Amino acid sequence: MRVLVTGSAGFIGSHVVEALAARGHESVALDVREDGGDVRDPEVVADRLRGVDAVCHQAAMVGLGTGFADAPEYVSRNDLGTAVLLAAMAEAGVRRLVLAGSMVVYGEGAYACSRHGAVRPGPRTVADLDAGRFEPPCPRCGAALSPGLVGEDAPADPRNVYATTKLAQEHLAAAWARSTGGSAVSLRYHNVYGPRMPRDTPYAGVASFFRSSLARGEAPRVFEDGRQRRDFVHVRDVAAANVTALEAEAAPGALTAYNTGSGTPRTIADLAEALATACGGPRPTVTGEYRLGDVRHITADSARLRADLGWKPEVAFEEGVREFARS
């Protein structure tokens, strides 16, 4: 199979290219940093699509960013870029797409109240966050909630600009699939970490921030109380999920979403402690600070991806963190 990989020189895209080669597939690269191949340029995209069997769309502006002033750039890179790509695929007759989705489309994760069952709390207030009340209360009675695993059928509730653009990408891909009869798969990544993760940028992930602090001999700074739950999944496992999705039969005329996580919830403090141990650095500092727009808990139920496509993560958390600390 000949696969166009957008964002091919990026953190996840470069691992996808390697995983495709290991399975005997050919990659066609498109990356603005490596060769000036901007996915928003119709001529460039049309040229790269010649002779291609499928597209693995990884190119995106990621992370929470620095404020709402980033919104035009997020929309341009993520949504306009996806629209240009899909229009070119429709014209070229390429009918298979795997999209780098994200768990951020859910907003907060799954919660249960002892009195009211499954509930969806609204955004946390500044007053609560300033007071150190980080856990979202039951929206009906104000009681404490128990976090759980979120499934693909949970309603979307994006809480920041990046999340909104990732949901829009899925809507565009679904519209393309219906219009062309193509098949689209969105792999909703959870917290991906591993070698080649970007460093020292406000758009990087929390694992990168912690590692950079430790490399400077500083303690990782953990926001809130450190008990936020996430699902940390290794980049090689994510790359393998992309190749598995490209090789699998997919429903024509529709988009299918799959959570792509390790299936094991861990706290932000767990990650900071594990990295500090692996680096031999200072213990993390829990700051009580917060970022408006962050959610409290979001962890995946990846059972559908395992059942439908036979994918499962292979890199254990402890092994992956040790490798990441050295990378």
Per-residue pLDDT of the chain (327 residues; tens, 9 = 90+): 999 999 999 999 999 999 999 999 999 999 998 888 999 999 999 999 999 999 999 999 988 766 789 999 999 999 999 999 999 999 999 999 999 999 999 999 999 999 999 999 988 999 999 999 999 999 999 999 999 999 999 999 998 899 999 999 999 999 999 999 999 999 999 999 999 998 877 667 899 999 999 999 999 999 999 999 999 999 999 999 999 999 998 899 999 999 999 999 999 999 999 999 999 999 999 999 998 878 999 998 999 999 999 999 999 999 999 999 998
pLDDT at 203: 64
Tokens read off for 80: 């306009």
CA distance 107 to 296: 9
CA atoms within 13 A on the CB side of 89: 33
Catalytic residue among 106, 162, 193, 258: 162
Number of H helices, E strands in the chain: 12, 15
Q: What is the pLDDT of residues 226-251, one digit of tens each?
A: 999 999 999 999 999 999 999 998 89
pLDDT at 234: 98
Cβ pair 210, 220 in contact under 8 A? yes
CA atoms within 13 A on the CB side of 84: 21
CA distance 239 to 56: 10
Helices 268-279/206-215 angle, 10° precision: 30
Q: Indicate the pairing of strand 26-30 with strand 2-6.
A: parallel
CA distance 8 to 30: 6
Q: Is 290 a catalytic residue?
A: no
pLDDT at 61: 93
Sheet holding 96-102, edge to edge: 26-30, 2-6, 54-57, 96-102, 183-189, 254-260
Is residue 2 helix, strand or coil? Answer: strand
Backbone phi, psi, residue 161, to 5°: -60, -45
Q: What is the pLDDT of residues 286-308, one digit of tens each?
A: 999 998 878 999 998 999 999 99
CA distance 149 to 299: 5
pTM of the predicted model as reported, rounded to 2 decimal places? 0.95
Q: What is the pLDDT of residues 37-68, one digit of tens each?
A: 999 999 999 999 999 999 999 999 988 766 78
- Helical segments of the chain, H only: 11-22, 32-35, 42-48, 71-74, 81-92, 126-130, 161-180, 206-215, 235-247, 268-279, 303-309, 317-326
